[in-house]
Amino acid sequence: MARIKSMPQTPINDSMMKPDDQGGLFGEAAPAKETDILGESHSLYLAMVKGFHEICMKLKIEETVDCNPLRLHIESLISYLKKDERMLLGLANAPYSYVIRQAELPPEGMIAIHSANSAVYAMKIFLELAVPQNRMPYLGIASLCTHLGLLDAPQDLLLGLDSAPNAAKLLADFEEKSRKYVAKMRIDNFHMESIEALLSLVKEEQQALSKTSLNEAIHQYAMVIHICDIFETLTHQRGYGEIFAPVDAMKKMRDEMKDYFNQDIIKFFFNKLSIYPLGSFVKLSSEETAKIVGVNENFIMRPVIFIVLDPEGREKPEPVKINLRERPTLYIKKAIMDEFLCEKYISLF
């Protein structure tokens, strides 16, 4: 196999690295323009995906790899999730093909995309759980690294072109090798052994919940990372067979995997991400097509939507925003996956 040349790291715009808004005239945070936040979030996501792909390529051929840019990406991701999570969660739900085009990645770049999406979901949940700030970078890096073992997988298997009946089992076997790549990663003033220890727990079936000690908390962290990883896997094409709409993926996790995942964490996951996640599309009882742009916590079947297509599939001159919690006669019939709609309305929130 031809050696892969070392690739330069993708630069990050300075504006992405600012952890907080600039102070206003009297010291209060100056509100950023919504369009700027959405655009910056879009750029940050693509930079994180491309940067991680470049690091993955280096990990395949080098003994030690500088991964300091990853920590900057994770810290920026946390900052932007706090400011406005909508674009980042929307991109995490987007088809791989859209991200591959936007980030100009080869098809095997799906490893980096999956990793970035899992990190977006996990950081969202960890923020909701009020995890101590000093632990967040470690959890973010661990979320990115769960599938590094797939770097060893043959391309046909990785891209779902291998029709072997045990393809999913083969992929899982490769995933177990992730820690050998983590051992090559170097981040200044960062305890990489903690990442290795956390990854060793991510695939375990018995996890702890509602514990207080650091050791028990690590089990909770591993469970959250695993849930986010499984959800991302089910909802995107990665050679594992059928692609599930988010609502169907969550039903599968709730019903078929109920003995595997702690149901309290699953319920929390549902409430925070919703069975109709931000950025996804649905068909309504009116036969109109809508994009999910807001979540009503504890009312996950009644999100905030923008109707973008009429019953005949024609574009609305202006998308119509509706809070389904306030419209009891209008309801969601089914989730739909449409790459064209995702790209056309990527910034509609």
pLDDT, tens digit, 9 for 90 and up, residues 42-63: 999 999 999 999 999 999 999 9
Per-residue confidence (pLDDT) for residue 252, from 0 to 100: 82
Low-confidence ranges of the chain (pLDDT < 70): 1-35, 156-176, 203-216, 237-242, 257-262
Rounded-to-integer distance, Cα 230 and Cα 142, Å: 15
Last residue of a domain, one of 215, 239, 273: 273
Q: Are residues 286 and 269 in the same domain?
A: no
Per-residue confidence (pLDDT) for residue 173, from 0 to 100: 63
Domain containing residue 301: 281-344
Per-residue confidence (pLDDT) for residue 259, from 0 to 100: 67
Per-residue confidence (pLDDT) for residue 261, from 0 to 100: 65
Q: Are residues 59 and 199 in the same domain?
A: yes
**DSSP classification of residue 221:** H
Q: Are residues 110 and 248 in the same domain?
A: yes
Rounded-to-integer distance, Cα 137 and Cα 125, Å: 14
CATH assignment of the domain containing 176: 1.10.3210.10
Q: Are residues 157 and 287 in the same domain?
A: no
One-letter identity of residue 315: E
Per-residue confidence (pLDDT) for residue 217, from 0 to 100: 75
Task: State how many domains the chain has.
Answer: 2
pLDDT tens track for 286-297: 999 999 999 888
Q: What is the pTM of this model?
A: 0.81
* Three-state DSSP state, 281: strand
Structure tokens at 166: 């045990």
Q: Are residues 52 and 185 in the same domain?
A: yes
| Residues contacting 269, CB < 8 A, separation 6+ | 125, 224, 227, 228, 231, 250
Last residue of a domain, one of 239, 273, 307: 273
Per-residue confidence (pLDDT) for residue 29, from 0 to 100: 42
Q: Of all residues in the chain, what percent carry a pLDDT higher than 90?
A: 48
In a domain, 8, yes or no: no
Q: Are residues 193 and 315 in the same domain?
A: no
Q: Are residues 165 and 286 in the same domain?
A: no
